[in-house]
Chains A and B, each alone.
Chain A
Amino acid sequence: MEDTTLINLWKQQDEKLQKNMQLNLFLLESLQKEKAAARLNSLARFKGWAVFLGIAWILFLGLLLYGNRFSNPYFSISVSAILVFNIAAVVVYIKHISLIRQLDYSQNIVATQNKLARLQASTFNLRFLVLQAPFYCTWFWSTDMINANPALFWSVSVPIALLFTILAAVLYRNLTLENMHKKWVRALINSTPEHTSVFKAIDFLKQIEEFKKG
């Protein structure tokens, strides 16, 4: 089969399409106005909800911190650390939303799709959140609690906090796109609400890489 035959077949299909073309492209009046705002894509909408919940959580933590007024240093330091991690996560999500909204579809296809797929797989950018885990083991500590039963504190509370610190560090090191071949990393991502779109995005990133290689 000749190349020209393929192109001619395509042209024949064009003719059929042209005959049936009923496309109403001129809904521009409505497209230019309020509809534009509603077209924010689902990825940005999901992240918008995450920002909303994140801000609510930050306000709650701020209130707790303000109520405590540093009377218990363990509580204040732990909640402050959790607060910092969550503020950082909200900032990352706001940055993502802004990137999604500014996405320029007139750039070349590989660059645009690569950017979009990376944003979809951006759960990995929030892996620093696992580092807050140890602070959830220390916020309820107090001098009174330690003095009341030092043996229990050193034999149970401290090892649990240490275990979570090690676990957080291991997760932080391993939760990367490059480690997606590890079964347990995939299983962990599978437990997140965004897992389907993350896996699809990762597969698509692989496709883009292969495509770039030729």
Chain B
Amino acid sequence: MSYFGTMDRQKNSDEFTRQLETHKLIIYKICHAYCSNPHDRDDLAQEITYQLWRSYGQFSGQSLFSTWMYRVALNVAITFYRKAKAGDSVIQLSEPDPETEYKPDDNAELEADINTLRQFISELKELDKALMILYLEERSHAEIAEILGITETNTATRISRVKDKLKQRFSQLKK
């Protein structure tokens, strides 16, 4: 390999590492939404990182790095989740999450609401889960549609449907 080739690769690698550092919470959040077992979550995070690195050469910069990252990470998470579900060994949806579960010094009502939200998201189907994560991440409808590959109208309709179910769940709990 030429000197300049090595330099380019190094520059690419540095840029990728920098971008990854900036946006790593995205990976962490997606891993939490799709995988409740901490050990499998690490595997999923590694798989996402590997696939991001593998696809980075094709990242043209036409979309935001975060948009591209959501696409890769969600695709890998959905694939991982489906494989795990087929093996019936990884996903235990009702298992409490040690990283977000209630601690005595926390606000109990807030904790309960966070847990309800988390539980609701974990019960959603793979694609609706992706949709809801993107919505809660305050991505625009246009960006969500681009990431998912559906129309903006569909995006809006589905978001409102899932949101209604979620609000219903909260109102039932408050009664």
A contact set with B: CB distance below 8 Å: 1, 3, 6-7, 9-10, 12-14, 16-18, 20-21, 23, 25-28, 31-32, 35-36, 39, 42, 104-113, 116, 196-197, 200, 204, 207-208, 211-214
Contact = CB atoms under 8 A, between A and B. Distances in A.
A110 B151 CA distance: 11
A204 B149 contact: no
A89 B171 CA distance: 56
A193 to B, nearest CB: 13
A109 B149 contact: yes
> What 10 A-B pairs have minimum CB-CB distances, sorted nearest first?
A108-B149, A214-B154, A110-B149, A10-B136, A20-B99, A105-B75, A106-B55, A214-B157, A211-B127, A105-B72
A12 B83 contact: no
B24 interface: yes
Contact of B117 (A6, A17, A111, A112): A6
Contacts of A106: 55, 58-59, 68, 71-72, 75
Given A16-B100, A32-B53, A1 B68 contact: no
Nearest to A39: B50
Nearest to B9: A32
A21 B59 CA distance: 26
Given A105-B76, A106-B68, A18 B157 contact: no
A114 to B, nearest CB: 9
Interface string B112-147: 011001100000011110100000111000000011
Nearest to B38: A22
Contacts, number: 139
Interface string B46-86: 11011101110011000000001001101110110011011
Given A27-B46, A108-B71, A214 B149 contact: no
Contacts of A7: 136, 138
Contact of A17 (B20, B29, B72, B82): B29
Given A14-B29, A42-B83, A200-B82, 16 more contacts: A9-B114, A10-B136, A14-B25, A17-B100, A23-B27, A23-B28, A23-B31, A28-B53, A35-B50, A109-B78, A113-B78, A116-B79, A207-B125, A211-B128, A214-B150, A214-B154
A39 B50 CA distance: 9
A18 B148 CA distance: 26
18 contacts: A9-B110, A14-B25, A20-B100, A21-B25, A31-B53, A35-B50, A42-B83, A106-B55, A106-B71, A106-B75, A107-B149, A108-B148, A110-B149, A113-B78, A113-B79, A196-B86, A207-B127, A211-B158
A195 to B, nearest CB: 11
Nearest to A199: B86
A104 B58 CA distance: 9
Contact of A27 (B32, B49, B154, B163): B49
Contact of A25 (B24, B55, B79): B24
A13 B128 contact: no
Q: Which of B47, B147, B149 has the most CB of A within 10 A?
A: B149
B113 A9 contact: yes
Q: Which of B27, B83, B138 has the most CB of A within 10 A?
A: B83
B23 to A, nearest CB: 10
A23 B149 contact: no
Given A6-B136, A28-B17, A105-B71, A17 B99 contact: yes
A108 B150 CA distance: 9
Given A9-B117, A14-B29, A112-B75, A105 B51 contact: yes
